[in-house]
Chains A and B, each alone.
Chain A
Amino acid sequence: MAFTQEEIVDGLAEIVNEIAGIPTEDVQLDKSFTDDLDVDSLSMVEVVVAAEERFDVKIPDEDVKNLKTVGDAADYIAQHQVSKA
């Protein structure tokens, strides 16, 4: 079953909250992980691994650097679960 974009963003918000302590309501599509949400490069790896588990997608290291904003990550997850279905 594919996740909706809303479910993906809510899930990412919970993950970012758990890893970086950022309030879930601050995790919006246009927010940059590094600049707005205080998620540094190492925490980003933790976010990615948690997202992989939660959404059952694979996000290889070489793609992680392209996920600048919450929207980038949500799109990536949505696309990769669609292509899998």
Chain B
Amino acid sequence: MSKIKPSQGAPYARIMGVGGYRPTRVVPNEVILETIDSSDEWIRSRSGIVTRHWASDEETVATMSIEAAGKALADAGITAEQVDGVIVSTVSHFKQTPAVATEIADRIGANKPAAFDISAGCAGFGYGLTLAKGMVVEGSARYVLVIGVERLSDLTDLEDRATAFLFGDGAGAVVVGPAQEPAIGPTVWGSEGDKSETIKQTVPWSDYRNGGEVAKFPAITQEGQAVFRWAVFEMAKVAQQALDAAGITADDLDVFIPHQANMRIIDSMVKTLKLPEHVTVARDVETTGNTSAASIPLAMERLLATGQAKSGDTALVIGFGAGLVYAATVVTLP
């Protein structure tokens, strides 16, 4: 039996830089109210959302990702040529194959990196971050771009008063690279496939191929109360497990960046977790809407850009969504 040489990874991994891209068009609740019977007050009270961004035809999954990736690379002080891994999490790239990650890698000028897409809904950023950390520590990559990107406006039923106001478009990216100290904690992640019906695409694409009667273009639909209960009370437990796994308590936290699903979920999670007053809570959903896999890096970028959080802060990030899937970890902010 031949002896196989093991790969040489870094001792630890860290987030080196973050970048975001929000589409130019800002959509206020008044636009949503053109197609549903509701009110600005109702939308705000149920979701906390005031505006969201919707992508134009030119702002594709690839172009938004390239913009966010460029900013993340600049923030990290890394060139595109140094990137040897690109992970893209999305559920709204409308081409089954090839993965959009390869196009993005090529267009940013990376040098033939490993590149692939993942589908983990609103937990996609945490899934990608965990894979990237593994690649860096294991040694199969040194610098990995993790991108969360969505054009959820393409999958929104504008006539559904329960979801029409919820979703937005955008891209968020981070660069994960080597570190001498632990800066990404153990990930607490998992799936609950028995609850797959609570957030889902209304009809499969194959309904079109089969030539059947398909009334409406597919959209994302959810059972609001069931999702709310799971997101707040089950995810608070997962968040606590991530703190425990990292060996810290809520008192040690500077920042809390939950998936920006809905302000009510965020507020209720903060209460359930009994987060101390000094912890800065990301509330980017107010002006960005729910951007699924993009929401955590977008919120992270905004907190850092506005000075609400600073480099070196300890942050708890938790994503949760369709699957149902979830991923939580403690990170040091870049």
Contact = CB atoms under 8 A, between A and B. Distances in A.
Interface of A: 40-42, 44-46, 48-49, 61, 64-65
Nearest to B45: A40
Contacts of A65: 225
A46 B268 contact: yes
A45 B46 contact: no
Given A42-B225, A61-B223, 13 more contacts: A40-B45, A40-B46, A41-B46, A41-B224, A41-B225, A42-B46, A42-B224, A42-B264, A45-B225, A45-B228, A49-B233, A61-B226, A61-B229
A65 B229 CA distance: 13
A48 B268 CA distance: 14
B225 A49 contact: no
Given A42-B264, A49-B233, A64 B46 contact: no
7 contacts: A40-B46, A41-B46, A42-B225, A42-B268, A45-B232, A46-B268, A61-B226
Nearest to A48: B229
Nearest to B198: A61
Contact of A61 (B45, B225, B232): B225
Contact of A42 (B223, B228, B233): B228
A62 to B, nearest CB: 9
A64 B224 CA distance: 12
A49 B236 CA distance: 13
Contacts of B223: 61
Nearest to B262: A42
A46 B231 CA distance: 12
Contacts of A40: 45-46
A29 to B, nearest CB: 23
Contacts of A45: 225, 228-229, 232
Most buried by A among B46, B226, B228, B232: B228
A61 B268 CA distance: 18
Nearest to B162: A41
Interface in B229-264: 229, 232-233, 264
Contacts of B268: 42, 46
Interface centre among A42, A44, A49, A64 (most CB of B within 10 A): A42
Contacts of B225: 41-42, 44-45, 61, 64-65
Contacts of B228: 42, 45
Q: Which of A44, A45, A46, A49 has the most CB of B within 10 A?
A: A45
Interface string B184-226: 0000000000000000000000000000000000000001111
